[in-house]
Amino acid sequence: MTLTASEIALLRCPDAGDGAPCGGSLVDAGDALVCGRCLTRWPVRDGLARVYREERVRGNDRLLRVFYDNLAALHDPAVRWLIPVLQTEGSERAMREAYLRRMELGALRPRADRGLRVLEVGAGTGANLAFVRAQLPPGLDVAYWSVDLSESMTRRLDARVARDPSIVPGDGRVRRLLCDGHALPFADGTFDRVFSTGGVGGYRDPARALAELARVAVRGTPIVVVDEQLDPARSHSLYHRAMFRAVTFYDRAPMSPRALLPAGAEVVADEQASRFFYSLTFRMPA
């Protein structure tokens, strides 16, 4: 198990078996994390805890997990080279730097009561790591948590970090878990920054996933969600429309999920990060 005891203490049982959050604390039992309340065993294999129920992974979630598990090697080249060609503009770097600025990472300061924590949901191969680190105040100690439903994508994140631990904010260690963005295994208000890029539009229930991002974030903190939307403020050629359709095959009308935000959410910015991608920043009232 690669999480420490104090990190495991942050976890909460996401599902007692009936689909509702259990909320019990988890205990390290070597080959599993065990819920002290409902006694569910969440398996740990090869150092990676799987804190989700397989039977809940259905619809788009199942389809996209097959996709990411089998084509993980193509993800990074596609984002770096193919997407700029398809949308005939931008670069991976420019887009990541722009949406991450909405996280106001530079405003983070050490807390008196506990260490700082950043959570990326659907973190994939860890392509945001170096960009997050670059925007944090130098030397700030931050624990980076990364969750995803795809083991292949997470193993690629491990390989990226093994190649260059200096890309990781804080102590060079990513706390990672396999879990479902619809049922995050954390208590309310656990994280000082929360974000998700490139995944939410493909979830089977984006409203629930947005509510989960909001729930685990400290109140008042910016929460950033990025995914596909053909810029509604611009005109697009047949080529752009066809390419957008091709990359969003799993969704009939991909768009910013502003209307699906949890009740009370304050929209900070609903903007385009590039021709094919929106960037939605919101906060829950403090």
Among 15, 158, 180, 212, binds ligand SAM (CB under 6 A): 180
**Per CB under 6 A, does 87 bind ligand SAM?**
no
Among the listed ranges 6-14, 30-38, 111-119, 179-187, the one in contact with ligand SAM (CB under 6 A) is 179-187
Among residues 64 and 143, whose Cβ is nearest to ligand SAM? 64
**Per CB under 6 A, does 229 bind ligand SAM?**
no
On the CB side of 13, how many CA atoms lie within 13 Å of its CA? 25
Query: What phi, psi does 143 have (nearest 5°)?
Result: -95, 120
Binding-site size for ligand SAM (CB under 6 A) equals 21
| Residue facing ligand SAM at closest CB distance | 124
State the minimum distance, in angstroms, from the CB of residue 14 to ligand SAM: 11
Among residues 198 and 257, whose Cβ is nearest to ligand SAM? 198
Among residues 157 and 218, whose Cβ is nearest to ligand SAM? 157
State the minimum distance, in angstroms, from the CB of residue 28 to ligand SAM: 23
**Residues 59-78 interacting with ligand SAM (rule: CB under 6 A):** 61, 64, 68
Among the listed ranges 136-144, 194-202, 240-248, 258-266, the one in contact with ligand SAM (CB under 6 A) is 194-202
**Per CB under 6 A, does 149 bind ligand SAM?**
yes
Q: Which of 164, 190, 161, 159 is nearest to 174 (CA)?
A: 161
Vertex 146 angle, CA 142 and 208, to 5°: 115
State the minimum distance, in angstroms, from the CB of residue 114 to ligand SAM: 25
In this structure, are residues 157 and 125 in contact, taking their beta carbons and an 8 Å threshold? yes
Element (H, E) at 286: none
Among residues 92 and 104, whose Cβ is nearest to ligand SAM? 92
**Can you spell out the DSSP letters for 164-185?**
-GGGSSTTS-EEEEE--TTS-S
Beta strands in 22-100 (DSSP E): 26-28, 32-35, 41-45, 48-49
Among 33, 103, 119, 127, binds ligand SAM (CB under 6 A): 127
Among the listed ranges 31-39, 146-154, 166-174, 264-272, the one in contact with ligand SAM (CB under 6 A) is 146-154
CA pair distance 129, 136, nearest whole angstrom: 11
**Per CB under 6 A, does 191 bind ligand SAM?**
no
Q: Which of 284, 70, 262 is nearest to 194 (CA)?
A: 284
Among 181, 201, 222, 257, binds ligand SAM (CB under 6 A): 181
Tell me the torsion sign for CA atoms 19, 196, 144, 82: positive
In this structure, are residues 156 and 162 in contact, taking their beta carbons and an 8 Å threshold? no
**3-class SS string, 186-197:** ECCCCECEEEEE
CA pair distance 141, 93, nearest whole angstrom: 24
State the minimum distance, in angstroms, from the CB of residue 79 to ligand SAM: 6
Interaction site with ligand SAM (CB under 6 A): 61, 64, 68, 79, 122-124, 127-128, 148-150, 153, 180-182, 197-199, 202-203
